[in-house]
Chains A and B, each alone.
Chain A
Amino acid sequence: MSIVLDPAVLVESLAGGVVIGVASGGLILVNGRVAGISGILAGAMRRGAQAWQWAFLAGLLAAGALAALAGLPVPAALTRQSWPMLALAGLLVGFGTRLGGGCTSGHGVCGLARLSPRSLAAVLMFMACAAITVFIRRHVL
């Protein structure tokens, strides 16, 4: 193994993390809601969906649209993936996050920021399973 340390990437990552923290902290303090994206998406897809849920999702889409308008390229690591693989990944991510009650944002950011042991257990589990999946695909198969 080796470690990739690009200072520009580290600064971007930290800055992006701070912005995500501002959005998560803002949503709980201003709206009283947890910024768990899989949960917000599931809520928006149910009867009785609330306007703020759709508005939050629209905000995420708008960020992507702004990236397109700014001329940022679509990541090549997305476009080179086959559609059946993306479909399988989407199904697993959708099923797993609903069963486990959260994803990277709900458990990973908000749950850990609330110091929730339940979220810590979920984060350790999904990180480990994701790393094992990558290991098998890149180094075993």
Chain B
Amino acid sequence: MRGAITLSGFGFGLIFGLGLLLSGMTDPARVLGFLDVAGAWNPALGLVMGGAIAVALPAFALAKRRPRSLLGAPISLPTSSRIDAKLLGGAAIFGIGWGLAGICPGPGLVLLGHAAPGAAIFTVTLILGSKLAELTNKP
């Protein structure tokens, strides 16, 4: 079963990455055009989220009612519902970084696979920033 879970993990990562490429999320110009509401606003990325949520919503509704996944693994869903300073502060810091470069973690990794110059710098500092948050915020 573990082999099947690893293989399907790869498959869904690949599909996710192809979706990011098709959607334009890997192009910072498209992302920054979406975020630039005061300039030449490009609302297209709203459709990316809308399309993704429309498909994922019934899947999550179904998953919530199942004790185990199709491969027999436990359904692992986040349990926290707290809206606190950590959540909002973290989201704010993430938003500033996203607005600076127009890259979030998934597209960063796809661009790294594309051997895009700069994607390696982004990914290395992404991991460093993530480690720093874990070190300074022990649960």
Give chain A's interface residues, CB within 8 Å of chain B.
1-6, 9-10, 12-35, 37-38, 41-42, 45, 51-53, 55-68, 72, 74-79, 81, 83, 85-101, 103-105, 107-118, 121-123, 125-135, 137-139
Contacts and interface: CB of A to CB of B under 8 A. Distances in A.
A21 to B, nearest CB: 3
B19 A23 contact: yes
A15 B55 CA distance: 11
B105 A56 contact: no
Nearest to A45: B127
B105 to A, nearest CB: 5
B93 A75 contact: no
Given A88-B97, A113-B53, A130-B35, A125 B10 contact: no
Contact of B105 (A27, A61, A63, A103): A103
Contacts of B5: 31, 51-52
B12 A31 contact: yes
Interface in B70-84: 70-71, 73-78, 80-83
Complex A-B, nearest 4 residue pairs according to Cβ-Cβ distance, in ascending order? A59-B13, A16-B23, A100-B90, A64-B113
Given A3-B43, A20-B48, 18 more contacts: A10-B44, A12-B23, A20-B19, A25-B60, A27-B16, A28-B59, A31-B73, A51-B2, A58-B13, A67-B26, A90-B121, A93-B94, A95-B132, A97-B105, A100-B94, A108-B49, A131-B99, A134-B32
B28 A81 contact: yes
Contact of A94 (B117, B118, B133): B133
B103 A93 contact: yes
Nearest to B46: A13
Contact of A99 (B32, B58, B115, B133): B133
A90 to B, nearest CB: 3
Interface in B28-57: 28-30, 32-33, 35-45, 47-57
Nearest to B7: A55
Given A38-B130, A55-B10, A135-B37, A109 B101 contact: no
B91 A122 contact: yes
A91 B38 CA distance: 26
B105 A38 contact: yes
Contacts of A118: 78, 80-83, 87
A126 B14 CA distance: 26
Contacts of B73: 31-33
Contacts of A109: 49, 52-53, 56
Interface in B99-139: 99-106, 108-119, 121-134, 137
